[in-house]
Amino acid sequence: MQSLNGLLFGICLLSGLGFTAESNVISQPHSKASLVSELDRVAPGSSFYIGLNLKLENHWHVYWKNPGDSGMAPHIDWVLPDGVEADGVVWPRPEKIPVAPLLNYGYHDEVLLPVKISVSESYVAKSLNIQGLASWLVCKEVCIPGNAELELTLEVGERSSSQRKADLEAALALAPQKLKLMRGTISEQGDSLAIELYAAKPIFAGAQKVEVFVADANLIEYAAPSSARWKNNYLNLSHPKAATFYKLPTAVSGVFVVDDVTAWEFVVSH
């Protein structure tokens, strides 16, 4: 009995001090959440990525930063030690999820949402504890909120990658690249909004398909089809205005996905 107690104490001690690149996993109806870290060991004065991993049941989805007609983007509140800061989520490119007659922007099956964590040079502790309070909405046709208190502790010292590094790299590769423009405008053309732009590179050359995801709310009718023509570095895309359109902001941002492969983050002005 005595030795069993000792053993249990030892296990508790180990897990208490345990450094791990993956947090606890919280199961919620139709979804599971955890945090994963790119690094096992972090170095002061550098940054790295941690991701919120949401695993969904088949046919269920979560949302992009602009969820479209309904829904809600996942949200994380961080609890971090002094000298450690979290950026916003680096959103992987979304997919269109029709919920006839409406349309949402989001992710099916599984998504990893990377967040950059910066550790100041003056960080002296031997370990780095990261807590993320995640909340999200998972939907099929009906929607159910999920919540999770997630926590992991990393060692501090010489920078060293974890086994989950490849997962974070893959998630970051799904994020759109910043699109450099020579010129880009958005304008009202009757019942449509028209985007016309000249990219710095011929990113539309030979493209079969160009899809737009607008990040700003209340501008386009998400479920309506776009009409677009493009050549080399030129794109002219028209999309019906939202029924709730009111006015065009001075700058509009979003993502173009070319041939379901390459994603570009754009900003065009009015």
Which parts of this chain interact with other proteins (CB under 8 A)?
69-73, 75, 99-102, 104, 135, 137, 139, 141-145, 191, 217-218, 240, 243-246
Q: Which residue type, as a one-letter code, is found at position 262?
A: T
Dig out the tokens for 58 from the structure. Answer: 């088949």
Q: How far is the CB of 210 from other proteins (least distance, A)?
A: 23
Smaller CB separation from other proteins, 86 or 143: 143
Do 88 and 146 meet the contact criterion of CB atoms below 8 Å apart?
no
CA distance 132 to 23: 10
Phi-psi region of 151 (alpha: psi -120 to 50; beta: other; left: phi over 0): beta
Do 64 and 179 meet the contact criterion of CB atoms below 8 Å apart?
no
Helix (H) or strand (E) holding 129, with range, is: strand 127-139
Smaller CB separation from other proteins, 75 or 209: 75
Q: How far is the CB of 176 from other proteins (least distance, A)?
A: 22
**Around Cβ 157, how many Cβ atoms within 10 Å?**
13
Q: How far is the CB of 83 from other proteins (least distance, A)?
A: 28
Q: How far is the CB of 131 from other proteins (least distance, A)?
A: 18
Smaller CB separation from other proteins, 80 or 144: 144
Smaller CB separation from other proteins, 32 or 65: 65
Give residue 64's Cα distance to chain centre: 7
Instruction: State whether the Cα torsion 202-91-86-70 is positive or negative.
Output: positive
Q: How far is the CB of 204 from other proteins (least distance, A)?
A: 28
Mapped onto helix, strand or coil, the DSSP state of residue 231 is strand
Q: Phi then psi for 222, rounded to 5 degrees?
A: -55, -40
Q: How far is the CB of 144 from other proteins (least distance, A)?
A: 7
Q: How far is the CB of 132 from other proteins (least distance, A)?
A: 16
Smaller CB separation from other proteins, 103 or 267: 103
Smaller CB separation from other proteins, 22 or 69: 69
CA distance 203 to 229: 13
Q: Phi then psi for 221, rounded to 5 degrees?
A: -80, 105
Smaller CB separation from other proteins, 205 or 217: 217
Helix (H) or strand (E) holding 111, with range, is: strand 110-119
Smaller CB separation from other proteins, 100 or 124: 100
Nearest CA-CA partner of 263 in 193, 192, 215, 194: 215
Q: How far is the CB of 85 from other proteins (least distance, A)?
A: 23
